[in-house]
Structure 1
Amino acid sequence: MAKQAKVADEMVLTAEMRLGMRLKLARQIRGMTLKAVAEAAGCSESLLSKIENGKASPSLPMLHRLVQVLETNIGWMFEEVDGEEGIIFRAGARPLIALDSLRQGDGITLERVIPYSPGHLLQCNIHHVDEGGASAGPIRHVGEEVGYVICGEVELSVGERSFHLKPGDSFVFESELPHHYRNVGTERASIFWVNTPPTF
């Protein structure tokens, strides 16, 4: 178990480093300074510098703002070319993305089911939410989402409504509605989550 946890930690670290490098590359391609991007995205210059160097992780809403400022998308930030000809992604080898490890929304890790590719119309992740964890938000964007609770208990808020979900429950909603979620159980929760078009 300790070995598996170490491998998972290393995968998250690699994902954070990749995210930082891609953010920096996108910024440099557009000829923007750290200060300009930070101001436009509503964060501090020092935090953005830490994110670019893989020493901090942005919350999901902040990441949405950053990619908008940089005129790219979240999927490109985590693009993977691994997998057996882009069809099979083996258990234990899928990339893990800890978006909120150092900010509000602590305790959420995304496990990529479909590594990003420009050819995919769908985006699919397993959202692992630690006890007490919650998404930063609410967020809203173009598209439609569907999910299935694998384990644990979560509260899903969509617009003005909130829903208590347990294993086996599923949901669907228009992504333009403000939405966020949190673990309200006593164990880690996992949600199989699909949305289209890909947004992160």
Structure 2
Amino acid sequence: MSQKVGDRLKAIRTMYGLSQRELARRAGVTNSTISTIEQNRVSPSVDSLTKVLDGIPMSLIDFFTIDLENGEEIFFRKEELVELSDGTMSMRLVGATRKDRKLRVLHEIYPPGGDTGDKLIVQKGEEAGVVVRGKLAVTVGERVQVLGPGDAYYFNAEIPHRFRNAGDVECEVVSAATPPSY
């Protein structure tokens, strides 16, 4: 194993918010074992490293392949959200550049009268959202409900649905869907 095993272990332990003592307790090894590995004073055997990683938990493959220096973005400034506007409403996608996204999160703004269109939306998965301000009419199949601030929805997205601002002020919604359709 390379000289960098200790540096890698320390970075991963820190990333998971574990102290040396806590990792040692979880892994069933002594605190000095963790310390000497992290100081690169010993090169642990595969079995020893596997035992230590069980305390995180993390596989040996993940330990050696996780990209510690070029990790994916976690935080996004307002101006970094990708605008998916169609001109009648604003949908800003969170984490658009993340590889293998399993979730779509949108910050949506509907102007008065704004909607997702006459054609009902059908997609695989589930969709949920919370109205932050304004009034949102949500149509799911034959059901229609007008929601206000703090109200929420959650439904099977394979049921035809649409959204419309039901008020005379902007409507703001934060929504999520899985799997991401865009």
Q: TM-score, normalised by structure 2?
A: 0.58
Distance (whole Å) between structure 2 residues aligned to residue 195 and residue 121 of structure 1: 9
Query: 2:121 pairs with 130, 139, 153, which one?
Result: 139
Note the 1:1-200 alignment, pairs <5 A.
85-99=72-86, 101=87, 107-136=88-117, 137-200=119-182
Rg: which structure is higher? 2
Letter in 2 for 1:125: L
Q: 1:85 to 1:118 in 2, by over 3 A?
A: closer
C-alpha displacement of 1:87: 1.1
Distance (whole Å) between structure 2 residues aligned to residue 178 and residue 118 of structure 1: 28
C-alpha displacement of 1:92: 2.9
Secondary structure of the 2:115 match is coil
Deviation by residue 1:97-129 (Cα, 9 ceiling, x = unmatched): 212x2xxxxx21111122143422111011110
RMSD between superposed Cα atoms in Å: 1.5
C-alpha displacement of 1:141: 1.2
C-alpha displacement of 1:159: 0.4
Distance (whole Å) between structure 1 residues aligned to residue 109 and residue 126 of structure 2: 20
Q: Which protein is richer in helix relative to its size?
A: 1
Distance (whole Å) between structure 2 residues aligned to residue 139 and residue 95 of structure 1: 21
Tell whether the 8 Å contact from 2:72 to 2:98 is kept in structure 1 after alignment: no
Task: Give the equivalent residue in structure 2 for 1:33.
Answer: none
Distance (whole Å) between structure 2 residues aligned to residue 156 and residue 139 of structure 1: 12
Distance (whole Å) between structure 1 residues aligned to residue 114 and residue 97 of structure 2: 25
Aligned length: 111
Tell whether the 8 Å contact from 2:109 to 2:173 is kept in structure 1 after alignment: yes
Letter in 1 for 2:90: T
Distance (whole Å) between structure 1 residues aligned to residue 95 and residue 152 of structure 2: 19
Tell whether the 8 Å contact from 2:124 to 2:158 is kept in structure 1 after alignment: yes
Tell whether the 8 Å contact from 1:113 to 1:124 is kept in structure 2 after alignment: yes
Tell whether the 8 Å contact from 1:141 to 1:176 is kept in structure 2 after alignment: yes
